[in-house]
Each structure stands twice: as structure tokens, then as C-alpha cells.
Chains A and B, each alone.
Chain A
Amino acid sequence: SQKIEQNSEALNIQEGKTATLTCNYTNYSPAYLQWYRQDPGRGPVFLLLIRENEKEKRKERLKVTFDTTLKQSLFHITASQPADSATYLCALGRGGADKLIFGTGTRLQVFP
């Protein structure tokens, strides 16, 4: 069955540094991959979508890469701020009526 793994349960970094989160998957061929941010007690908030034919996508301080050969996506937050502290979820999908499959999430803590 398909499996999605996100690196380490928690990631602690200093303000101003670049945070890099990893999403690896097996037994699956997604058409796209999405990243969401989730704060405690809240629903996920959509951040970025990257398709299988795209290598990289950027949005302000966020950058996502997608390597279908390695079956991996990297999510970068540059110049990180304490307000970036949250849990980040990756999700894979094939489109159409297919459902999203979520990873377990990585909790990011940015300290001053």
C-alpha cells in the first residue's frame, strides 16, 4: 500500500535560517503534490501545489521541489520567522475523483 513519510516529527531552527522539510513516498505515482500548514486546533491551510512535470515552485519565502525519480518533495521556508511555527503536511493526489493522501506532518518550531 502507498506510504508517505515526512522527516522527523519535529524540526527546530533559529529565526532567519532556512527550514527544509522532506516528504518521501512509496508505492504511489502522484500527478501532483500539495503542501499545507496546520496550526493547533485549526484546519489545514493550502500553501502550494506542484505537478509531476514541474521541478520547482516558489511563492514568496516558500519553495517546493518535486523529484519523481527519488519519489521525494522538499519544502523550504527561507528567512524563517517564529510565525512560521506550525505543522506542515504534504499530500499526494492523482486528480479527478481521486482522494488526497496525507503524510503525518512535521512540526516546525522557529525560535528567536
Chain B
Amino acid sequence: GAVVSQHPSWVICKSGTSVKIECRSLDFQATTMFWYRQFPKQSLMLMATSNEGSKATYEQGVEKDKFLINHASLTLSTLTVTSAHPEDSSFYICSARPLGDTQYFGPGTRLTVL
């Protein structure tokens, strides 16, 4: 139980294009979903928290117009990196939290911007 999927698992795009990453909770409903990014050999950095049907709450320093988050249903959240640049290249991981305190993570998406 408590499986979270992400799609795509990796993506390469040209600078200036937009990339959408999907996060799905497969066997439970997630009241809250989280988006993280992780640089090599560093820990997870929370980007934003989203609750179904409401606007995402972004962490300080994260541009909400650049990283668009849509939590359309209790099982799906999407992160769109708009006008991507090479510095946006990173490992993006989502997590979903059903009722309770435990977060269940997706397998991550490796974004490379050329």
C-alpha cells in the first residue's frame, strides 16, 4: 500500500520550454501533496505544499510563477516548470500524505535543461 508514482522519470528539454511533472497516489487519497527538489549529495528541499482544490503554499525563495502547482484531485498533483533554464536542472520528488503524519514519496523525476 501507499504507492506514489511520478511521470516522467526523467526528461531532457531545451532552455525556455516548459515541463510538466505528474505525481499520483495510486492506492490512497492524499489530502496534501508536497514537491521537493534535491541537488546531488544534498538533502531534500521543500518547494511547496498543496492541498486539493486550493492554491499551493510556496516556500521562501521559490518562484510561484516559475513552478506552477496544480492539485486537481485527491490523487493527482502536477508541477510545471515554466521557461526552464539550466539552473532548474535537478531531481524533483513529490510526496503524498493521506490522513496522518507519514509522507509517501514518489520515485522522483530527473530534469535536465540544455
Q: How many A-B residue pairs have CB under 8 A?
A: 48
User: B108: which of A41, A93, A105 is its contact (CB, 8 Å)?
Assistant: A41
Contact status A44-B44, CB under 8 Å: yes
Q: Is the CB of B105 within 8 A of A43?
A: yes
A59 adjacent to chain B (CB < 8 Å): no
With A and B bound together, what is the CA distance between A35 and B30 in angstroms? 20
* Bound form: Cα–Cα A105–B44 in Å: 10
Complex interface: chain B residues within 8 A of A41 (CB): 91, 108, 110
Contact assessment for B32 and A49 in the assembled complex, using a CB-CB cutoff below 8 Å? no
Whether a CB of chain A sits under 8 angstroms from the CB of B28 is no
Contact of B102 among A31, A46, A97, A103 (CB under 8 A): A46
Can you offer 17 A-B residue contacts whose CB atoms are under 8 A?
A34-B102, A43-B4, A43-B6, A43-B106, A43-B108, A44-B93, A46-B104, A46-B105, A49-B102, A89-B44, A93-B101, A95-B101, A97-B32, A100-B103, A102-B44, A104-B43, A105-B43
What 5 pairs between A and B have smallest CB-CB spacing?
A43-B105, A43-B108, A104-B43, A102-B43, A43-B93
Contact partners of B108 in chain A: CB under 8 A: 41-43
Question: B102 CB to closest chain A CB, in angstroms?
Answer: 6
- A45 in contact with B101 given A97-B32, A104-B42 (CB within 8 Å): no
Q: Find residues 1-35 in chain B having any chain A CB closer than 8 Å to their own CB.
A: 2, 4, 6, 32, 34
Residues of B within 8 A of A (CB): 2, 4, 6, 32, 34, 42-44, 46, 49, 91, 93, 95, 101-108, 110
Residues from chain B with Cβ under 8 Å of A42 in the complex: 107-108
Nearest CB in chain A: distance from B6 CB, A: 8
Contact in complex: B44, A46 (CB < 8 Å): no
Q: Tell me the minimal C-beta distance from A101 to chain B in angstroms.
A: 8
| Residues of the A chain whose Cβ atoms lie less than 8 Å from the Cβ of B105 | 36, 43-46
Within 8 Å CB of B102, what residues of A?
A: 34, 46, 49
Q: Which residues of A contact B6 (CB under 8 A)?
A: 43
